[in-house]
């Protein structure tokens, strides 16, 4: 399939025109299917390098030489206690703290009164915090807020907030009333957690791990399967006058959102495809006349749409 891409230097007049087209498409759509990728959370301020990394992981970076959270997540730490010191911070700031910008709230303000469904590969719980109806949400790749057995011995997940909070507190952090993680003055953070806090499966005793899709051990629990069925049911029942709205989806896992959105738009003549993504706003030639591609920052575009 051929594709086209808008230039990042497109004239502001054309940019505004596309914003207007998307605003009208949102008004006209009888159903909105949102496909959200990592770019949406990045636009909301959940960045993995720079200031946020230095604020919470400077000690790990100085010791091991990596300069972003993503690299730190794959680092071969010397002990499980050190590994969970890193991961508990990672989970807490990216799951239990609010995103710096109100991007998810802006999105829900635009689609909340529509017949909508959200399909996302993000694992940071931001849609739930933005009050998305959980019956209209399918998070396919897991959740930072869930543990699973490393076996796994069964298809079950476990809430991890209490354990994660205890881990970050044990390292010397404080948690403010608004949930923000802070470092008290004169405190030197520990880069390890007590052995007794290491999470273990309550059934078989094996170590618990994050419920994140990385290989064939990923647990698809009952809630996952229920959400998958609700998504399938929604697609079968929703109006053909649908808007497939893709936000910040790259090419790591295009078979989950991007390619299906293109295909469903192609086979549904009344449907419209829209994509907001800096540097990757593309659509196949076959649906070009029913596509709105905006090469720009998602936060800016949603604010203008509001």
Give the DSSP H or E segment for 4.
Answer: strand 3-5
pLDDT band at 306 (very low <50, low <70, confident <90, very high): confident
Helix (H) or strand (E) holding 85: helix 80-91
| pLDDT of 226 above 60 | yes
Question: Is 202's pLDDT higher than 50?
Answer: yes
Q: Distances from the Cα of 120 to the Cαs of 1, 44, 195, 282, in angstroms?
A: 24, 15, 34, 19
Any idea what the Cα angle at residue 108 is, between residues 178 and 288, rounded to 5°? 135
**pLDDT for res 67:** 97
| pLDDT tens-digit readout, 227-276 | 999 999 999 999 999 999 999 999 988 999 999 999 999 999 999 999 99
Q: What is the pLDDT of residues 82-129, one digit of tens each?
A: 999 999 999 999 999 999 999 999 999 999 999 999 999 999 999 999
With b for 16 or more beta-carbon neighbours within 10 A and e for fewer, the 214-247 pattern comes to: eeeebbbbeebeebeebbeebeeebeeebbbbbb
User: Residue 12: what pLDDT?
Assistant: 79
pLDDT in tens, 242-251: 999 999 999 9
Domains and CATH numbers, the chain: 3-43+101-143+221-305 (3.40.50.1220), 51-98+161-198 (no CATH)
Tell me which of 3-12, 96-105, 150-159, 209-218 is least confident.
Answer: 3-12
* 275-296 tens-digit pLDDT: 999 989 999 999 999 999 999 9
Contact in structure between 245 and 33 (CB atoms under 8 Å): yes
Structure tokens at 33: 């299917």
Q: Which two tokens stand for residue 62?
A: 């100085």
């Amino acid at each position: 399939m051929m594709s086209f891409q808008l230039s990042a230097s497109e004239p502001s007049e054309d940019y505004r025109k596309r914003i207007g087209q998307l605003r009208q498409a949102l008004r006209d759509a009888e159903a909105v299917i949102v496909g959200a990728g990592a770019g949406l959370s990045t636009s909301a301020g959940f960045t993995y390098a720079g200031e946020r990394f230095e604020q919470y992981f400077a000690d790990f970076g100085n010791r091991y030489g990596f300069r972003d959270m993503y690299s730190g997540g794959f680092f071969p730490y010397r002990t499980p206690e050190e590994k969970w010191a890193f991961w508990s911070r990672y989970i807490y700031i990216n799951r239990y703290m609010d995103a710096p910008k109100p991007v998810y709230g802006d999105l829900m303000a635009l689609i909340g009164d529509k017949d909508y469904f959200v399909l996302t590969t993000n694992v940071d719980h931001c849609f739930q915090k933005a009050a998305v109806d959980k019956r209209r949400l399918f998070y396919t790749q897991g959740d930072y807020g869930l543990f699973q057995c490393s076996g796994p011995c069964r298809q079950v997940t476990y809430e991890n907030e209490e354990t994660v909070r205890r881990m970050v507190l044990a390292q010397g952090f404080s948690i403010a009333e608004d949930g923000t993680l802070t470092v008290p003055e004169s405190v030197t953070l520990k880069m390890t957690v007590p052995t007794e806090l290491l999470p273990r499966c309550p059934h078989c005793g094996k170590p618990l791990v994050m419920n994140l899709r990385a290989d064939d051990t990923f647990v698809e629990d009952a809630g996952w399967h229920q959400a998958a069925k609700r998504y399938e049911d929604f697609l079968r029942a929703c109006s053909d006058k649908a808007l497939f709205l893709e936000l910040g989806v790259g090419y790591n896992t295009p078979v989950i959102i991007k390619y299906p959105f293109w295909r469903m738009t192609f086979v549904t003549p009344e449907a419209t495809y829209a994509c907001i993504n800096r540097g990757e706003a593309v659509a196949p030639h076959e649906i070009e006349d029913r596509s709105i591609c905006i090469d720009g920052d998602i936060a800016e575009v949603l604010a203008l749409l509001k």
